[in-house]
Structure 1
Amino acid sequence: MNDPFAAAERFIRAEARLLEQRAFATCFHHEPADGVVEALRGYQNRDGGFGHGLEPDKLCPASLPIDVEIALQTLAMVGTLDAPMVGRACDFLAATAARADAGGAVPLAFPVIEGYPRAEHFADWTYRPDVFPTAGLAGLLYQLGFAHPWRDEATRYCWWALENQPLSDDVHALMEILVFLEHVPDRVRADKHAGAVIEHLTARPMFHLDPQPSVYGLSPLHVAPVADSRWRSMFSQARLDAHLDHLLEIQQPDGGWPITWAPPSAAAALRWRGIVTLKAILTLRSYRRL
C-alpha cells in the first residue's frame, strides 16, 4: 500500500468498534483520553468488572477477569487512568480471588460463558486461577501506577509462582509473566527471572522467532511491541526488522490487519481486526516504519 497509515485509519473508521476509534483518535490525533474512558464505561458492570465481549472471543455480558485485563490494557495504551473505574475493577478482582481461594490468583473466565457464543479455545481450562491472567493484571496496575490491596496480594502470588513452580509452556501465560516483570518495582528480583522466562518463551513451538505467515502464534513484536520496550534487547535488530517487514506486508487491501484464529462470530472477527490494526500501526509508528 502507498500509505499504510491512511489505509489503516480508513479501516478503523469503517469497521472498528467505538472503543478502538476513540483510542485511535487519542493515540494519533491528540484527542483527549476522556473519550476512551467513556467508551470503556459501557463495558463495566455494577460489580466493577468488565464484560459484554470487551475481549471478543467470548460474547458474554458477565464480568470476567480477561475483560478487566483488556480494559487496563486500553487505558495503558492511551496513557490515562480513571481511578474510580480501576478501583471498582480491582474490587471485583479481589472478590473473585477470595472466592477462588488461590492465594490472590484469578481465572480468565467462569462457566457463565458457556451460555453465550465463544471461540473453541475458551473452555474449562480458563476457569482455573493462574498467572494467566493474574500476572498481566498486576503488571498493568503497576504500569498505570494504581495501588490496591488486591494488586499486592496478586504480586505475592506471582512471586510465589515464579519461585516455586515450573514455568508454564503456554506462550500466553509466559507473556503475562513478562508484563508483570516489566512493571513490578522490584527490579533486581524481576531481572533475575526475566532472562529465563524469555528463553523458555522463545523455545515454545507457538513462538515464532521468524515470521510464519497465516500461522497463529506470538513473535518478538509481542514481547517488544514498542521500540523502548524493556525486552527489546533480547532480540537482534535483524530479527525485529524481519517481523516489521512482515507486519507491513500482511496489511489487507481494506487497510486492516488479518487475524489467524476463529472468533465466535463475524462481528467478533471485525472487532478483533480493529484491535490488531490499532496495535499494528502503534508498533510500526514506534519503530519508525510509518
Structure 2
Amino acid sequence: MDKRFADGREFLRREGRLLERRLFATCFEGAPGGRVVDVLRGYANDDGGFGHALEPDKRCPASLPLDVEVALQAMATAGVVDLPLARGAADFLARVASDVDAGGAVPLADPVIEGYPRADHMTEWTYAPSLNPTAGLVGLLHRLGVEHPWVTTAAAWCWARLDEDLPTDAHALREILVFLEHGTERDRATAAAAKVRAALDTASHFNLDPDAPEYGVTPLGLASSAESPWRALFDEDVIQGHLDRMERDQQDDGGWPITWEPPGQAAVLEWRGIVTLENLRTLVSYGRLEAP
C-alpha cells in the first residue's frame, strides 16, 4: 500500500467522523454501501430532509437543501440509494420550493441558521433560490434514479436559467455541471457544458492556476475522477499540475488542510475528513496513489 494513502487512511480513522469512515470503507475496503445509509439516517429529520450539520459550516439541526445535497452525494459515492429516504428528501425539497415560490428552485439555507454557530460566509445570500444548489440536487437525484415531480419541475427551471446568462460564481457553475452530467438531454448538455467552460475563465472563486494560494474551486473539483466527462474541459497539463498540488498539500498528520474558516474546531476536523476522503479518491482514480 502507498504510504501516503495509508497516512490518509489513518487520519480518517483518527479524526474523521463516522460518515467519512464508512464511505472510506465502502470505496476502498469492500464494505456494503448500506452502512453509509445507516449513518445518514442519524442526520435525517421527520420532514424528510437532512440537517444536524451534515454540511459542517452551520451547526443547525433543521433540514436544509444544502444538507440534503450532502446526503445525496454520500449515497452516490457509496453506490447505493435508499429510495424511501431519497424520495422523502425530494418531498422536502418540493415543499421548500413551494414556500419560496421561485418556479421550482430552492435555496441553500434558511434564516433558521442564524440561531446557531455558522461560518461567516453563511449569510443572506444562501437564502436566495438559485442554481446553487438546485441544479446539483436535480443532477444527483437523476444519478440515483429517483423519479419525483419536483425533479421534473426543477429540471425545467434549470434549463430555463441556462438559456439565459450563466452565473458568475464557480460554485454555481460546478452545480450546473452535476446537472448536465446526469441529465437525460445529452446533446443539449454538451452544448451547455461548453458555455460553462467559457464562463469559468472569468468566474469568481475559480482557481485554474494550481499554485493559487487562496480558496477556490479547481479543475479537480469539477473532474474529481479520471473518468469524469469534464476532464476534457481542461488541458492535460492543467489537470496534472493540480494533481501535483494535491499531492504536495497532504499534511504530516496524513490529512489535507482547508482554506476557509468553519464555525469551530469540530467543524475544522469534519471538513478535513471530508476533503481527505475526496482527495484520496481523486488521487487513486488518476493513478497518483495506490490503494490496496
Q: With the length of structure 2 as denominator, give the TM-score of the two structures.
A: 0.97
Q: CA deviation at 1:162?
A: 0.8
Question: What value does the CA root-mean-square deviation take over the aligned residues?
Answer: 1.0
Which position in structure 1 is the counterpart of 2:186? 187
Aligned mates of 1:202, 1:62 — CA distance in 2: 36
Contact 1:51 1:61 in 2 (8 A): yes
Deviations 1:65-118 (A, max 9, x none): 000000011111111100011010000000110111110000000000000000
2:61 counterpart SS class: coil
Which position in structure 2 is the counterpart of 1:109? 109
1:26-41, aligned counterparts within 5 Å? Answer: 26-41=26-41
Residues matched between the structures, number: 288
1:91-240, aligned counterparts within 5 Å? Answer: 91-163=91-163, 165-212=164-211, 214-240=213-239
1:74 counterpart SS class: helix
Aligned mates of 1:212, 1:118 — CA distance in 2: 29
Deviations 1:120-174 (A, max 9, x none): 11001111111110000000111111111111011010011111x3111111011
Aligned mates of 2:212, 2:20 — CA distance in 1: 25
Unaligned stretches of 5+ in structure 1? none
Contact 2:133 2:172 in 1 (8 A): yes
1:6 counterpart SS class: helix
- Residue identity over aligned pairs, in percent, reads 56
Aligned mates of 1:159, 1:125 — CA distance in 2: 22
1:202-281, aligned counterparts within 5 Å? Answer: 202-212=201-211, 214-281=213-280
Aligned mates of 2:36, 2:187 — CA distance in 1: 35
2:229 counterpart SS class: coil
Unaligned stretches of 5+ in structure 2? none
In terms of mean alpha carbon deviation, does 248-257 or 194-203 score higher? 194-203
Aligned mates of 2:43, 2:211 — CA distance in 1: 34
Aligned mates of 1:189, 1:277 — CA distance in 2: 34
Q: CA deviation at 1:181?
A: 0.8
Q: With the length of structure 1 as denominator, give the TM-score of the two structures.
A: 0.97
The runs of 4+ residues in structure 1 deviating greater than 2 Å are: 202-206
Q: CA deviation at 1:205?
A: 4.5
Deviations 1:38-78 (A, max 9, x none): 00000000000000000000010000000000001111111
Q: CA deviation at 1:188?
A: 1.1
Q: CA deviation at 1:213?
A: 5.0
Which position in structure 2 is the counterpart of 1:89? 89
Q: CA deviation at 1:235?
A: 1.1
